Structure 1
């Protein structure tokens, strides 16, 4: 991965974008600190699984998968105010 400063990027934008479209990844620095990355787009038609996203660090998988999802149902009566229902759900 190549590093370039923001000033150099400003003067060579077209050339750097061509490099990125060719598959290179370029780290952009400001005052010597990396702040951004220029690179090729990820394929949009690829279907990522939860495991793929977890491997990238973009989500955390559930620790336990053997529990069924909780069931929640509450009968609603016509004419009941929402604040009363909320109090009932919260147990107040």
Structure 2
């Protein structure tokens, strides 16, 4: 199997189903991927358009805070001079 792995994958990609055996007994079947294995946005859009459950935000908040999502450092507004001779003022 190790020496022929690339060949077996090519055969499976071409549509052949290959039975892999261990000690003469079937252990796995290698075959082509079905046409519905990959989904495009059009297939999945309706999933994301569903309303969330009533406790979703409360359940999700601790995880988001751990990940730092929605958090950013707020820098203080720097002091500026309106003219070279005027005192510093905060805006």
Greater RCO (Cα-Cα under 8 Å, separation 6 or more): 1
- Where is the strand percentage greater, Structure 1 or Structure 2? 1
- TM-score norm. by structure 2 comes to 0.39
- Report the TM-score when normalising by structure 1: 0.39
